[in-house]
Amino acid sequence: MELFNTLSGTIEALTPVGAPALRMYACGPTVYDYGHIGNFRTFLHVDVLRRFLRQQGMAIEHVMNVTDVDDKIIRNAGNAGQPIAEYTAKFERAFFEDMDALGVERPEQIAHATEAIPEMVTLIEKLAAKDIAYQTEDGSWYFRLSRFPEYGKLSKKDLENIEDGARVDVDEYEKDAARDFALWKAVKGAEPSWDTSIGKGRPGWHIECSAMAMKFLGDSFDLHAGGEDLMFPHHENEIAQSESASGKTFARHWMHVRFLLVEGKKMSKSEGNFYTLRDLLLKGYRASAIRFLLISVPYRHQMNFTFDGLTESTNAVDRLRTFDQRMKKGGFPEGLDPEIAAATAKASTDYTASLANDLNTAEARAAIFDLVRAANSAADSGTLRAGNVVEILKALALFDGVFAVLEDRDAEITRAALTWAEAEGRIEEADASLVETLAFGDADIDALVAERTQAKKTRNFARADSIRNELLAKGIMLEDGKDGVRWKRK
């Protein structure tokens, strides 16, 4: 497996060092609101990486943080009149529900910022002992950036040209240099705080990830992943404080997932193109199609999310599922078609080589669809053999071990989204036909399918056609085959 390393600027072999498992830290959510599709693109590509590495036989120790205290959380919880633990619990639960809906595997370790305060304090004390961290008159602690000359080595920014006060580091506290960043913020008013040996207050955003990564993975580990928006200043600050404290390389390999555009524009609420997963589910789009679309463009390429693309992704998933069912139905003559055998072997080889080459998901996807076309053509012409089908299904399972779209949980996930919308008083946001379709249960569909089958037997074709049209109007498609009728929701 070779992966681009942001730190070195080159594609390098990704291998565990000093341990049997690859030790990986990936920045997780800040649980102040529902996750949007840009967030989930990053989490999905990390999922692709871990699934492929495990598929190739590599053990993984994957740690993901949950930031459950920061400025936005404190502000939003205060506005809602809730304690931060109560406020964040709702959005953390929603985040993992969304991750499950998108088929994202859980990390081996989930680390909460509020549970790692002692480790953060210890880290700050180590920096203070080296005169790299200093305390201001109000009790806050800052990192002395002048003491880390390598600052900027990840993002390749020139320290002299870095603007002061990037992102969360703009505050009213007095500090020695404008570019120094907060490690610990002294308590203000009634905001949440912890009484510690370095004073009463709360952690700065950057110290959280350093402390949690080092707590579970050690001072130095194999891979750090996250979205490209975190590269500066967050990941730069992690490197500075961690390496200053330990004297060791913090993470040897860095993976950053590119931004996502929506219909060619930066996603923002002011543009009206800001979408959470739940927004899309309520519009009638499927979770499987959203997953497939978000991972189809390689992680180092900027992706332009479009609704036309989402429709194409829906059709692609349907095509894969229909092909899978066609192969599993069997009924093919015994033997082996050598041409299809060669195409199947090539598809598996190309799929593996594509993902091993910096996670090229576009080429991996193309490899499996080349096989789908070849096998469908052979089946249509009568040359496909049972021996071919065994290997085709293995190739398809290999592909789905990473892409994870063959299992159809879409209706179940959409029902859960509608239940949530109803509970939150947002059911009016749901597509009306979607509500009607999902209110029409599986038992109702089965009854109409049985009635249609009986109508056809008695040559009442008008009634049979009427039932098909009724079901189609409710988003239910019928497929007549040799072994009976299959139905599926659009």
367 pLDDT exceeds 80? yes
479, pLDDT greater than 90: no
Looking at the whole model, is its pTM more than 0.85?
Answer: yes
- The CA distances from residue 490 to 291, 328, 408, 438, 475, in Å, are 17, 21, 11, 11, 5
Q: What is the pLDDT of residue 160?
A: 65
Q: How many CB atoms lie within 10 A of CB 458?
A: 9
Q: Please, which pLDDT band fits residue 442 given cuts at 50, 70 and 90?
A: confident
Q: Give the Cα separation of 445 and 427 in Å (integer).
A: 24
Q: Which of 374, 391, 294 is nearest to 339 (CA)?
A: 374
Span 405-423, pLDDT tens digits: 999 999 999 999 999 999 9
Query: What CATH number does domain 265-403 carry, 3.40.830.10, 3.40.50.80, 1.10.730.10, 1.20.1090.10?
Result: 1.10.730.10
The mean per-residue pLDDT over the stretch 339-365 comes to: 98
CA–CA separation, 8 and 343 (whole Å): 37
Write down the pLDDT at residue 266: 94
371 has a pLDDT exceeding 50: yes
Q: Which pLDDT score is estimated for 164?
A: 45
Percentage of the chain exceeding pLDDT 70: 96
- Spell 195-220 as b/e; 16+ CB within 10 A means b: ebebbebbbbbbbbbbbbbbbbbeeb
Whether pLDDT at 176 is above 80: no
Q: What percent of the chain has pLDDT over 90?
A: 83
> What single DSSP character describes residue 130?
T
At residue 298, does pLDDT exceed 90? Answer: yes
Per-residue pLDDT band for 161 (boundaries 50, 70, 90) equals low
The whole-number average pLDDT for the span 239-255 is: 98
pLDDT(172) > 50: no
Give the CA distances from residue 428 to residues 104, 153, 284, 418, 434, in Å, rounded to whole numbers and listed in that order.
29, 49, 13, 10, 11
Instruction: Report the pLDDT averaged over residues 452-456.
Output: 90
Rounded mean pLDDT of the chain?
93
Q: Which residues pair with 4 in a beta bridge?
A: 11
**3-state class (DSSP) for residue 141:** strand
> Taking Cα atoms as reference points, which of 53, 70, 74, 75 lies closest to residue 62?
53
Q: Residue 46 — very low, low, confident or very high, per pLDDT cuts 50/70/90?
A: very high
Domain boundaries of the chain, sorted by first residue: 2-257, 265-403, 410-489
Of 54-68, 142-156, 159-173, 281-295, the poorest mean pLDDT is in 159-173
- The answer to whether the 2-257 and 265-403 domains have the same CATH topology is no
**What six digits make up the tokens of 378?**
């052979």
The answer on pLDDT for 167 being more than 60 is no
**What value does the mean pLDDT take over residues 174-183?**
82
For domain 2-257, give the fold.
Rossmann fold (3.40.50)
Q: In 3D, which of 59, 67, 77 has the Cα closest to residue 31?
A: 67
User: What mean pLDDT is predicted for residues 6-13?
Assistant: 98
Model confidence band, residue 17 (pLDDT cutoffs 50, 70, 90): very high
